[in-house]
Copies of this chain bind each other. A is one copy, B any other.
Amino acid sequence: MGLIVQKFGGSSVADAEKIHRAARRAIATKEKGNQVCVVVSAMGDATDELLALAKKVCENPPKREMDQLLATGEQVTIALMAMAIHAQGHEAISFTGGQIGLVTDGAFTKARIQSINKQRIFEQLAKGKIVIVAGFQGVTPEGDYTTLGRGGSNATLVALGAVLEADVCENYTDVDGIFTADPRIVKGARKIERISYDEMLELSGLGASVLQTRAVEFAKKYNVPIHVRNSQNESEGTWIVAETANMEHIVVSGAALKQDLIRVTIKNVPDRPGVAAKMFGDIAGANIVVDDIIQTVSDDNTANVSFTVEHGDVHDIKPVVQRLVKELGERTSAIYQEGLAKVSVVGVGMRVHTGVAQRMFKALADGKINIQNITTSEIKISCIINKDEGPRALQIVHEAFALGAGK
């Protein structure tokens, strides 16, 4: 008995049959005496198809219109899911983000959730209905549609879990859980049983595609347990939970690969206070996420600043950088290096174990993979490498830490 929020990703609702299967699972959960709220993504490749359609019409579409377009993907699924539950003899009601007052900021295509009006959901749950909510989308206070970025349905899942004070957020997908590395790339990748929010946060930020960083942050903040499960079977998946003491016994929990990065290097930046703050302030103002920032200072009172952005942000970052270059001085210039990737290892055990970085660098060196940059945090080590070598690097690192073997 409890309140369970379930999310079915695109591959779990890809056709009428799969929607019925997801509906059965929601009904089964309800019949065990739970109140059930279901979050769904767009069906299968629906979002990609909409993106392709947009690209056919306009090379660089206004983002407001892009979100107006993309939001339809989830709206189709919620209606069909409610119909499927109805067809199976149970009551359901579907809501778009706007219909449950899921208000976001105005950062189209990567908006952040500000508030949810839980009243309308509780009313319907109290009537015994299964409530279906469109993932990935919200509205601005003015009523414009926004989307939460790739994987944003998970942000919806966890935000609902937090707001409704759910007992668990079940994230149904087409894999058995979180793996020590992407099993499509790495032979011998193994399902993780329990992982801490912090580790998951690092892995998500590094390209593990199952859960978006923001979703995990939210779950951590509100201490909502997430259970990542396979919609095709009944087996236990991976639980993402608060850190416990014995988690530190494992040095490295997982490895990840972030593909298709661009490194931007701004050369001859005047080396005076406030310049970095202005640069990254302007970039953040354009809602672009940067990572792997490295600053090197020259003799002549200038610095070179480099950072990585995802390839998809290239359209957005260039005008911002161009403007900065112009403002910063005559000698300042920018270089864009495409075709990069980032391989990383993550583990809370790094806090107490030493030698992790060396082991990683040696394994990559033995594999003749050139490391272009290194960045670290308390619980992760990342190496920027050539994109072409990404998959092989991930396999090498996975083996170097014997991740496939378990603890």
Contact = CB atoms under 8 A, between A and B. Distances in A.
Interface of A: 16, 19-20, 50, 53-54, 56-59, 61-62, 64-66, 68-69, 71-72, 75-76, 78-80, 82-84, 86-87, 93-94, 96, 98-99, 143-145
Nearest to A144: B99
A65 B145 CA distance: 20
Nearest to A74: B72
Contact of A80 (B69, B94, B143): B69
The list of the 5 closest CB pairs from A to B, nearest first, reads A69-B79, A58-B83, A72-B72, A58-B87, A16-B56
Contacts of A56: 16
Number of copies: 2
A16 B50 CA distance: 12
5 contacts: A16-B56, A57-B87, A64-B93, A75-B75, A99-B144
Contacts of A19: 57
Contacts of A68: 75, 78-79, 82, 94, 96
A86 B75 CA distance: 25
Given A20-B57, A53-B16, A99-B143, A62 B82 contact: yes
B87 A59 contact: yes
Contacts of A62: 82-83, 86
A76 B52 CA distance: 13
B72 A58 contact: no
Contacts of A54: 79-80, 83
A66 B75 CA distance: 11
Nearest to A54: B83
Given A19-B57, A57-B16, A99-B144, A82 B65 contact: yes
Max chain B CB contacts within 10 Å: which of A71, A76, A83, A145?
A: A83
Contacts of A53: 16, 76, 80
Given A58-B84, A65-B94, 11 more contacts: A16-B53, A57-B87, A58-B87, A61-B86, A62-B86, A64-B93, A65-B80, A65-B82, A68-B96, A69-B79, A98-B143
Contacts of A57: 16, 19-20, 80, 83-84, 87
A66 B57 CA distance: 28
